[in-house]
Amino acid sequence: MEFTEITDLLHVNELNKSTFKNDWINTKKPLIIKGLLDESPARNWNIDYLEKELGHFPVKVFDRQRKNKTSFLVGDHKVPMNHMLHLIRENKVSDLRMFVNPILTKNKKLAKEIPCPDFFKCAFQLPNLMFIGGKSTMVPLHYDFMYDDGLLTQLFGRKEIILIDQSQSHLLYRLPFNSTSMVNLFDPNFDMYPNLKKVKAYRTILEHGDTIYIPSGFWHQMIYTDASLSIGFRKWHPSPIVTLKTGLLRLTQISFDRILGLLFGKNWFNWKVNHPK
């Protein structure tokens, strides 16, 4: 594998809708953005405040110790939000991970404190998503199946990210009927997955307050350097046709995948792992 650092870096005040669309969305280049958190009231967030505002809500989480791992979209079980926030307070290692959770929709005051930046806003704005994981937690390699563009802002802790453009999908051993792969790019097994030797990827570490732009269709895998929390903003693909086509395809695949997962459980998951695309 060949890794390249993301060297393109801009302050949020240097961006507007027109330049961002022309220079980044249209060219599908990842970008590190500084200052987004500093421009919002969320710069004053701390764990005590989040526990007070969100701690009592139950949240779905993924647990890597659970045996039924057939789904990558729906969490394994629920825990109180306080449990996840405690991981950050103590910088604890954990098997739990909160993924693509729109919990800020439950607290409009909090949601207003970290609004989508102006240069990234779009019609029918998608809700912000929250991500929490314990120290050393790994997110499987995947791409966002709706082909939306994404911003990820790091609020607490650090997170290491690997990005790969969609043109290299044939090298990444995608699971059938999924936008996910089981390969670990942080410790690649070239004997089992020899095509990974040909992969060219971006690699970077998000520090507190950093934002990364993830172009639509880009594969990404993450490891939580620290127990941490980040907020994701999403923007529909510029082409409604792509959004509609991709959405219909993936919803059909997800439904089919879930049905077979219910019928055959772990056997279905094992079949997918042994028959990557």
Stated pTM of the model = 0.92
Predicted pLDDT of residue 258: 82
- Total domains, the chain: 1
**Alpha-carbon distance 106 to 209, whole Å?**
23
The residue range of the domain holding 32 is 2-274
Q: Is the pLDDT confidence value at 105 over 60? A: yes
CATH number at residue 100: 2.60.120.650
Give the residue-averaged pLDDT of 194-205.
Answer: 97
Query: Which amino acid type is present at position 253?
Result: Q
**Token pair of 147 as six digits:** 């082909």
Closest listed residue to residue 125, CA positions, set 235, 21, 231? 235
pLDDT, mean of residues 118-129: 89
User: Does residue 73 surpass a pLDDT of 70?
Assistant: no
Please state, for a pLDDT cut of 70, what percent of the chain lies above it: 96
Average pLDDT, integer, range 91-95: 92
For the chain, give the mean pLDDT. Answer: 92
Strand 149-156 and strand 228-235: pairing? antiparallel
- Which tens digit of pLDDT belongs to each residue from 37-60? 999 999 999 999 999 999 999 999
Q: 66 pLDDT band (50/70/90 cuts)? A: low
